Structure 1
Amino acid sequence: MTAHDVALRLPDITALRDHCRSLAVLEAILSPAWGDRWHSFDTNWSETEEAAMMRNGSGDEYSIVFSPAGAYLRGFAHESPMTPYGNDGPWPGVLDEVPEVFAPYVDEPAFSDEDGMPVVTVCLWRRTGDEGWSAGAIDFPESFDRDPDGATSLFALLTDRGAEAFQEWAQDYYETEVDLAAIRHVLASRPLTEDVVTRLNPEASLSALAKELAGAGYPRA
């Protein structure tokens, strides 16, 4: 799967934003330790923008900026043959067709290294009013017929948004049983209750999550 396949599997901007918010809240419940989490969501990334982030601690990451103009998604898979390191910069086509309205994100310092080079192997975007997601015209490396840009691994929980997919991932990563009904509750963006929190993590509490929920803009009962 490449960026072009992901573009066909992503939902509309509102649904993706809600899903990313829910992923961040699920991890906030499962892991009080911030450094252990993969997913985060900042409803105040700027005065007009929200941002979803994923970092797996092994060098892979993605960022999604939600703005009045639409949504911009960039990902970096450190083992991808399309890494800008060793290829004299971003792979041809990955960023070449990014619409002007999203151009500031291409060079955004948070998405670039200390030398100002965009840290990216895959990029997608969707403007407000667009009927779907887009990616650039890319000649993928012929020697890599599986996941050349890292899209398969980076966006697995965005293309398969089912509760079962998250349960499988969380149980493998956190090495504990995770309640499926409680996952469904959060993925549906239903107001968080003490019961749901406890079912996900008996050591967590709704009151302790107040700051996290406010930062992510997630509703609580």
Structure 2
Amino acid sequence: MTVRELVSLLPDPAALLARCRAVALLDGILDAHAPTHSFVRDWREGVDLAFMDNGSGDQYAIVFDPAGVFLYGFDHESDASPWREEDRAHWPGLLDGLPASLAHYAETPEFQFDGFFDATVCAWRENGSTEWRCGPVEFAPDESDGADRLFGLLVDGRPDAYVSFAEDYFERAVDRDAVVAVLEGFPLTRRTVASLSSSADFDVVAEHARRLGCSAPDTSEL
């Protein structure tokens, strides 16, 4: 899967936002100190940010702006890596067609590395549009931009996909029913949190969930 296939598989922005929040919450419960997936509500005024960093050089960011959604990823081992050339360069067509309302995110300092927008995948969806779009990139059958490795979990969305990822990454058994509860957006409960992590402090997790915009009780009022 390259970005050309990715844009046909991504869910609508509202569903993607909910999925990003849930995955960030799950990661945060399983490992509060080093989650792979994170979410920042009001990263900018009225703008939310989901991001992933696997600690091995791969990352992505998804910006949820009132003007639309801007998505990019960097797979350091992909054929489309800007580092394939001595003077870094994007894969031809990567940013072509990026609308002005979202184009400034490719220049955001947080998404720069040594003054360059390191990206192998880029897609967007303007507010009011019914489709995700990408630039006119082309890949040979044996070439990849890393879209499958970076965004496969978000595209899949099934509890089993997250369980498989988490058990491999965190090297521990993961309770499927608890994963279902979080992905489905059910209000967070002590039982769900304890099923995922026996050492997690429910009050801390609930506060984190509320910051993400997930449904959780305000334990200070109980």
- TM class by shorter chain equals over 0.9
Report the counterpart of residue 119 of structure 1 in structure 2.
118
Kindly report which structure 2 residues correspond to 1:70-149, keeping only aligned pairs within 5 A, or say none: 70-87=68-85, 88-114=88-114, 116-140=115-139, 142=140, 145=142, 148-149=144-145
- Select the residue among 181, 194, 198 that pairs with 1:198: 194
Residue 205 of structure 1: CA displacement? 2.7
Unaligned regions of 5+ residues in structure 2, if any?
Answer: 218-222
After the TM superposition, list the runs of 4 or more consecutive aligned residues in structure 1 that deviate by more than 2 angstroms. none
Aligned length: 215
TM-score by length of 1: 0.93
CA contact (8 A) 1:41 1:215 kept: no
Report the counterpart of residue 220 of structure 2 in structure 1.
none
Report the counterpart of residue 171 of structure 1 in structure 2.
167
Q: Please provide the CA RMSD for this pair.
A: 1.3
CA contact (8 A) 1:194 1:205 kept: no
**What residue identity is the alignment partner of 1:208?**
V
CA contact (8 A) 2:82 2:91 kept: yes
Distance 1:16 1:191 in 2: 19
> Partner of 2:216: helix, strand, or coil?
coil
- Select the residue among 54, 57, 74 that pairs with 2:55: 57
Residue 32 of structure 1: CA displacement? 2.3
Report the counterpart of residue 10 of structure 1 in structure 2.
10
- Select the residue among 196, 206, 212 that pairs with 2:208: 212
> Partner of 1:85: helix, strand, or coil?
helix
Matched, 1:23 2:23: yes
Distance 1:85 1:129 in 2: 35
TM-score by length of 2: 0.93
> Partner of 1:195: helix, strand, or coil?
helix
**What residue identity is the alignment partner of 2:179?**
I
> Partner of 1:72: helix, strand, or coil?
strand
